[in-house]
Structure 1
Amino acid sequence: MASTTPNGAESAYDYDYVIVGGGTAGCVLAARLSEDPDCRVCVVEGGPSDVGDDRILRLRNWINLLGSEFDYGYTTVEQPRGNSHILHSRARVLGGCSSHNTLISFLPLPEDLDDWVARGCDGWDPATVLAYRDRLRTNIVPVAEADRNPIAKDFVTAAAGALGVPVIEDFNAQPFSEGTGFFSLAYQPEGNLRSSASVAYLHPVLDRPNLTVRLETWAHRLLPDDAGRLTRVAVRGADGGDVVLRAERELLLCAGAVDTPRLLMLSGIGPAEDLRRLGIEVRADLPGVGENLLDHPESVIVWETDGPLPPNSAMDSDAGLFLRRDTGQARPDLMFHFYQVPFTVNTERLGYPVPEHGVCMTPNVPRARSTGRMWLRSADPAEHPALDFRYFTDPEGHDERTIVDGLKVAREVAATAPLRDWLVREVAPGPGVTSDADLSEYGRRVAHTVYHPAGTCRMGAPDDPMAVCDPALRLRGVDGVRIVDASVFPTMPTINPMVTVLLVAERAADLISGRTSVRGAAQ
């Protein structure tokens, strides 16, 4: 096994690369960079291992991980036009959110990557990025037939019939504009086991002598080396003691869209005036750090079913729907998850009853136009940052309109056979809520997140004043650091972003090592 605790002489803290964050991207980088036996790689992970832990490894248990000891549990500031009570779960475990989420796995749509290129991110075009799909080690497959719950099958049939959209057997077979079907998941159907980034990339190589994995260790400050390069990181272990880890080549920040900008700001890299107000010495004035906070907001509509449902399912939200309201666009602008359980955490707060047996649909905004920001509340590394997603604040009202339309579409599908034959009544918001104003008020107050924060250290062109890193993922104005996680997204992909993070990490491994890319061009 790779070393998991600091020990030995001072030289034990010297590595070629130190990866801060053993999550989705960090596992990819650790596996790829340590393929070179002469390259010393250290991964710093704030949580425990997932090895042998069925609570983590069994996919269908994902919902019980939210708010558990495996969750950092970030909250939001008040959301005047949304739900101020959302717990933004961020995984505290090896594998990061790929050990914590539903593992719904979509390749980014080509137009999503075209958006990145239009924002000055040369080298992130569809031809370059999508070529890395063949390198992915995660086992991405459509939901197995044995895991296809009968009510979910009837949802798919009803959605196709009501809306005239195709049934899609494999959403990753080719780009799609709209459609309904069972999703692809990164899992092993036999045993309902995760094929997370840790399982697929790290578990097979934990015995490499050049790979060190430091668990229950939290990074709280970046430090310069003698040449002024930012290649040192101060970390704190479970015993409360501090250690400085040294990267001879580069520090690789993979802590995610909340903790990567948080670490940068604690280290004096970010909006200068904000940092000075907290008494933090400014190392680099980068105003984009913490800005451009993106998410996929969604609402919920709940039905009671006539008794319990059949028990088979991959993870209880494994079918869904993509729809184009604007048929002049190639990409869907409305998305649904179909839950085979009544997700009532937000409706119950507003006084709605909780059915003993039920289902729900969650209209989702694939490319929300409302953007937020995050910032430090204090210079204390232990204090959680402030997260303000500014849900439903875009001036054109696009996000709000998407939710209203989604609630209406959900009712249309629910009224269509064969799904309607399962349903007893609409519990929330109830059939009496019909006006656009009332649907908007309800839809925004029960809105939730699908845990997709991104964009807070976005990459961009040299003349973009808010870009935090360049298209090679190098931190601007500071030598020795690259960022590799969802925080570098300049815009949010239409689909669930985990596979996009995997692709970013695979490409980053080539950029870092200087290896030839999958397209054959030297990077």
Structure 2
Amino acid sequence: MPPLSFPAEFDYVVVGGGTAGCAVAARLSEDADVSVCLIEAGPSDVGDDAILDLSRWMELLESGYDWDYPIEPQASGNSYMRHARAKVLGGCSSHNSAIAFWAPKENLDDWAAGGAAGWSAAECYPFYRKLETALDTTAEAEAPGRGTDGPVTIRTVGDQDPCGVALLEACEQVGLPTTPFNTGRTVHRGANWFQVNAKPDGSRSSASSAYIHPNLSRPNLTVLTGYRAEKLNVDTTAPGRPRITGARLRTPDTRHAVNVSARRETILSAGAIDGPKLLMLSGIGPADHLREVGVEVVVDAPGVGENLQDHPEGLVQWEALQPMPTASTQWWQIGIFAGAEGRSTPDLMFHYGSVPFDLNLTRYGYPSSENAFCLTPNVTGARSKGTVRLSTRGYQDKPKVDPRYFSHEHDREVMIRGIRVAREIAAAPALKEWVGTELAPGDAAATDEELFEYIRTTHNTVYHPSCTVKMGADDDRMAPVTSTLKLKGVDGLRVADGSVMPDLITVNPCITTMMIGERCADFIRRGV
């Protein structure tokens, strides 16, 4: 890329080089007649094995590649928990365990029925197919037809983990049969090896490596890494509504503020925490809150920063009686669904880890072991909802993230059941040669009250904050974004990332966030 002089102007400016932003920028720049600038506050991941080697993903938590957001004190949750948000090109697709799911049909159809017109499964599934190359799908009559020539490689994790093999047999023994994933049929009760967006050599097929790396030579695509957005630029002088004209950035040395302008549109893809933060710093958000922190109100948008949803995660951990694997694709290779009766989607999911995961346990003195495995129950349809708010009007200051974990009784009940189901699986005959001492929560936690006290103090998250700038019907004041991802009340701005989900999907949302980026680029290119 030739040296860039500021102020700089492009047809499209994408603020946030994460999971959706990379997809948006790559698809828009397929048109050689337009210029696109992709802005990422973190470094590039090109040639960086710390990022690209998927097996090393847990090293990234609380590292220099992590914004590492604390949360506000929780009345019924773990106040010490931290939200990992990626500070690197590719966003959380460069930072996560790469578990790859299409959203269940029921989730997407609920989005459409709730006011996000055009986002039903029938309308979204073609964009999943467009983004992926699925290497080893299961052929079933119900399958929606997997993609074969998209940029993102999706494949099934291998079975080179004997404890994992025994775990799947144990699941069968307690009524959770081995069931293929990503077939177009929602798995209500069942287990299997995960599919991951990773190449056969073990490297990530992240949004950056799939969409951006092959296209860095495009003369119409400029990728700025290390530039952090301070605010969106707003023109309030033109007749009609305010117009977003680009962004003011801080240079990598933080010494200078520079402007990047968009002739056509600006796309905000900064994620469910930094997205609403940047909107509020730009004067778009709940008016009373903006005035409290000294930000001039441009648009009173009460839904910005509301509706924060996540998948809270518990942990049941055992010492292993046999040596656990010393190599793995990404150490979290099996998923288990154990939904309650009477639901269309499962309300309980587990990730199986072939390594200890004591991130939130050591402060309370729980024993650990280097040779351990765990099951992490998570509430897939949590009803507790929180907020993202500004702490100050300074762009460098971390926002206030308040998930309000377990403020809804439903989430407590599902998580308690999750611990009991995990113990039931561990007690099955197939795991007799593997399960040693239960390290956490341990034998002392037996009643519902004891189990929830353990969860309340030690729970984690599956790192899926979403829904804070949700899309919805034009007359829904709490939905800041239209169904074509345009921010209401201004011109020239769309939002494309996990924040626009009306409700968090049941499964890991990374591939759905890429799909949102694909759809955003499609809306723009079709002029809708």
TM-score class normalised by the smaller sequence: over 0.9
1:518 matched residue in structure 2? none
How big is each residue's C-alpha offset from its partner over 1:297-333, in whole Å with a ceiling of 9 and x where there is no partner?
Answer: 01001101125312232111110200111x2222111
The sequence identity of aligned pairs, in percent, is 46
Residue identity opposite 1:180 in structure 2: A
Matched, 1:121 2:133: no
How big is each residue's C-alpha offset from its partner over 1:118-170, in whole Å with a ceiling of 9 and x where there is no partner?
Answer: 2200000110001112211211111134xx311111111101211x1221234
Stretch deviating more after TM superposition (359-368 or 307-316)? 307-316
1:305 matched residue in structure 2? 320
Cα shift at 1:347? 1.8
2:213 matched residue in structure 1? 203
Cα shift at 1:66? 0.6
SS at match of 1:509: helix
SS at match of 2:51: helix
1:152 matched residue in structure 2? 164
Alpha carbons 1:484, 1:508 under 8 Å: kept: yes
Q: Which runs of 5+ in 1 are unaligned?
A: 516-522
CA distance in 2, matches of 1:274, 1:41: 33
SS at match of 2:401: strand
How big is each residue's C-alpha offset from its partner over 1:351-382, in whole Å with a ceiling of 9 and x where there is no partner?
Answer: 11112311111110001000000100111111
Alpha carbons 1:156, 1:320 under 8 Å: kept: no
CA distance in 1, matches of 2:17, 2:398: 19
Alpha carbons 2:186, 2:345 under 8 Å: kept: no
CA distance in 1, matches of 2:423, 2:315: 11
1:282 matched residue in structure 2? 297
2:517 aligned residue (505, 508, 511): 505
1:213 matched residue in structure 2? 223
Q: Closer, same or farther in 2 for the Cα pair 1:9/1:432, shift >3 Å?
A: closer
CA distance in 1, matches of 2:390, 2:247: 19
Q: Which runs of 5+ in 2 are unaligned?
A: 132-150
Matched, 1:31 2:45: no
How big is each residue's C-alpha offset from its partner over 1:86-123, in whole Å with a ceiling of 9 and x where there is no partner?
Answer: 11010000000000000101000011012211220000
CA distance in 2, matches of 1:232, 1:159: 52
1:372 matched residue in structure 2? 386
CA distance in 2, matches of 1:171, 1:445: 34
SS at match of 1:252: strand
CA distance in 2, matches of 1:43, 1:474: 18
Stretch deviating more after TM superposition (339-348 or 486-495)? 339-348
Alpha carbons 2:93, 2:206 under 8 Å: kept: yes
1:182 aligned residue (179, 193, 203): 193
Q: Closer, same or farther in 2 for the Cα pair 1:320/1:420, shift >3 Å?
A: farther
Residue identity opposite 2:330 in structure 1: M
Alpha carbons 1:24, 1:98 under 8 Å: kept: yes
Matched, 1:391 2:405: yes
Give the TM-score of the pair, scaled to structure 2. 0.93
- How many pairs are equivalent? 504
Alpha carbons 2:6, 2:258 under 8 Å: kept: no
Matched, 1:492 2:504: yes
CA distance in 1, matches of 2:233, 2:181: 46
CA distance in 2, matches of 1:273, 1:132: 39
2:441 matched residue in structure 1? 429
Alignment of 1:245-394 (within 5 A): 245-325=260-340, 327-394=341-408
Matched, 1:169 2:183: no
The Cα RMSD (Å) is: 1.3
Stretch deviating more after TM superposition (244-253 or 298-307)? 298-307
Give the TM-score of the pair, scaled to structure 1. 0.94
Cα shift at 1:345? 1.5
Structure 1 stretches of 4+ moved >4 Å: none
Alpha carbons 2:318, 2:436 under 8 Å: kept: yes
Alpha carbons 2:101, 2:511 under 8 Å: kept: yes
How big is each residue's C-alpha offset from its partner over 1:71-100, in whole Å with a ceiling of 9 and x where there is no partner?
Answer: 011010101211011110100000000000
CA distance in 2, matches of 1:428, 1:62: 23
SS at match of 1:188: coil
Cα shift at 1:433? 1.5
Residue identity opposite 2:353 in structure 1: Y
CA distance in 2, matches of 1:210, 1:117: 35
